[in-house]
C-alpha cells in the first residue's frame, strides 16, 4: 500500500475515535514504524510499504485507537529539546513543565555553582534538562518510584550528565544537603478528577498524578519539610493548577510563617505566582508556582518569550509587603 493511502486511512480511523490530533498521530506513528522522519513521508507519498511494515503500523494504530499515548508507543518524548526515554512507569513530560526549567535556569544565574534538587523526578526530564543546561550545577533528584528512577538514570546516562538520584519521600533523602534551588512537579490532581480513556491520564501511573481530595497533599508535605530545613532553600519552583494557587499561597503563609511577598509573572505564556520568603535578614527565599491551566496541547512557541528576571530578584530589592 502507498504511504499517503495508509496514512489517510489511519488518520480517519483515529478521528472517528475522537482523538484530538489524528493526522499528526497517524504520521508520527508511521514515521516510527518505518524508522523514517515525517519529512520523508511527506516527500515520498507514493512509496509502497511492505506487508510486514503495514502489519507493524496497523498494530500501533490499533493501540492508539484504544487510547495508548503516542509517547508510550514510541518509547520516548521530547522535552526541552531533548529526547527522554519513557515507559508506563513515568508521567509523560508535558510541554508546560518546560516553563519550570526556564525559571530554574534564570534563577540559577545568581549562584556560581548552584545546588539543585528536583523532587518527584519521574523520567528525570526537569533534572536532565537542568543538568544539560547548567553544567556547573550539582543536581540531585528524588522519587518514591524505583521504576521511575530506573528510567531517569537511563536518561541521565544517555545525555552524559551527572545527577545524584535518591529513592525516597521528597526532601528526606537530602536531609543534610544545603539546597539553593528546588524544582518540584509533584502530583497535583484532585482525586475526584476522572480520567477518560481517551486521555493519557488513564495510562499514566496514578502515583504520579493524584494528591488527595484537593490535589495539594504532596505540596503540604513539601512545605512542612521545607519549614524544618535550615538554611531555607533560596528558590522553590512548583507546578500546579491555576485554581490551586491561592490555597497554596495560604499554605505557605500558615506553614512557613515568614514575611512574604507575592507577585505575578508570566513565562512563555504560563502564569507564575511568586512568594518571596524571609525568615530573617539572613534567610531569604522565593517560591515560584507555575500554573498549569490543563491545556496539555499548547505549543511552547505559540507564546511570546517574556523574561522572568523579575521573578527571582534578590530579597533586598523587593518592596516590603
Q: At what angle do helices 3-16 and 22-34 cross, to 10 degrees?
A: 140
Nearer to ligand SAM, 158 or 283 (CB): 158
Nearer to ligand SAM, 22 or 69 (CB): 69
Write down the least CB distance from residue 34 to ligand SAM, Å. Answer: 29
Buried b (16+ CB within 10 A) or exposed e, 73-90: bbebbebbebebbbbebb
Cell of 65: 485507537
User: Where along the sequence are the contacts to ligand SAM (CB under 6 A)?
Assistant: 91, 93, 97, 119-122, 125-126, 142-145, 148, 169-170, 185-187, 207-208, 218
Distance CA 285, CA 149 (A): 28
Nearer to ligand SAM, 142 or 155 (CB): 142
Q: Is the peptide bond before 231 cis (omega within 30 degrees of 0)?
A: yes
Residue 130: alpha-carbon gap to chain centroid = 12
Nearer to ligand SAM, 89 or 274 (CB): 89
Nearer to ligand SAM, 93 or 114 (CB): 93
Distance CA 224, CA 218 (A): 10
Write down the least CB distance from residue 200 to ligand SAM, Å. Answer: 12
- H/E/C letters for each residue in 154-208? HHHHHHCCCEEEEECCCCHHHCCCCCCEEEECCCCECCCCCCCCCCHHHCCCHHH
Write down the least CB distance from residue 132 to ligand SAM, Å. Answer: 15
Write down the least CB distance from residue 93 to ligand SAM, Å. Answer: 4
Nearer to ligand SAM, 142 or 274 (CB): 142
Length of the chain: 321
Cell of 119: 523532587
Nearer to ligand SAM, 62 or 294 (CB): 294
Write down the least CB distance from residue 91 to ligand SAM, Å. Answer: 4
Write down the least CB distance from residue 128 to ligand SAM, Å. Answer: 10
Write down the least CB distance from residue 98 to ligand SAM, Å. Answer: 9
As a dihedral over the C-alpha atoms of residue 289, residue 299, residue 74, residue 202, rounded to 10 degrees, the angle is: 60
Amino acid at each position: 500500500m502507498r504511504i499517503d493511502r495508509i496514512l489517510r486511512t489511519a488518520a480517519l480511523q483515529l478521528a472517528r475515535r475522537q482523538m484530538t490530533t489524528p493526522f499528526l498521530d497517524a504520521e508520527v506513528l508511521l514515521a516510527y514504524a518505518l524508522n523514517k522522519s515525517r519529512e520523508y513521508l511527506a516527500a515520498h507519498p507514493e512509496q509502497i510499504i511492505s506487508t510486514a511494515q503495514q502489519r507493524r503500523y496497523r498494530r500501533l494504530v490499533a493501540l492508539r485507537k484504544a487510547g495508548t499515548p503516542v509517547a508510550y508507543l514510541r518509547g520516548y518524548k521530547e522535552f526541552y529539546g531533548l529526547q527522554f526515554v519513557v515507559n508506563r512507569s513515568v508521567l509523560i513530560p508535558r510541554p508546560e513543565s518546560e516553563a519550570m526549567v526556564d525559571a530554574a535556569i534564570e534563577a540559577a544565574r545568581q549562584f556560581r555553582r548552584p545546588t539543585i534538587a528536583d523532587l518527584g523526578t519521574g523520567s528525570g526530564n526537569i533534572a536532565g534538562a537542568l543538568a544539560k543546561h547548567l553544567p556547573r550545577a550539582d543536581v540531585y533528584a528524588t522519587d518514591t518510584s524505583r521504576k521511575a528512577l530506573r528510567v531517569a538514570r537511563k536518561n541521565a546516562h544517555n545525555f552524559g550528565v551527572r545527577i545524584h538520584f535518591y529513592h525516597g519521600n521528597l526532601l528526606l533523602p537530602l536531609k543534610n544537603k544545603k539546597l539553593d534551588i528546588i524544582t518540584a512537579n509533584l502530583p497535583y490532581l484532585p482525586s475526584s478528577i476522572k480520567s477518560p480513556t481517551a486521555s493519557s491520564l488513564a495510562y499514566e501511573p496514578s502515583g504520579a498524578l493524584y494528591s488527595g481530595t484537593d490535589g495539594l497533599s504532596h505540596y503540604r508535605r513539601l512545605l512542612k519539610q521545607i519549614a524544618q530545613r535550615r538554611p531555607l532553600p533560596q528558590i522553590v519552583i512548583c507546578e500546579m493548577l491555576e485554581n490551586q494557587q491561592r490555597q497554596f499561597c495560604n499554605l505557605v503563609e500558615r506553614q512557613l510563617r515568614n514575611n512574604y511577598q507575592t507577585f505575578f509573572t508570566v513565562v512563555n505564556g504560563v502564569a507564575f505566582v511568586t512568594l518571596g520568603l524571609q525568615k530573617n535578614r539572613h534567610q531569604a527565599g522565593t517560591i515560584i508556582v507555575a500554573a498549569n491551566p490543563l491545556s496539555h496541547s499548547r505549543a511552547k512557541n505559540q507564546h511570546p518569550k517574556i523574561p522572568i528576571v523579575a521573578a527571582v530578584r534578590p530579597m533586598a530589592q523587593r518592596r516590603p509587603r
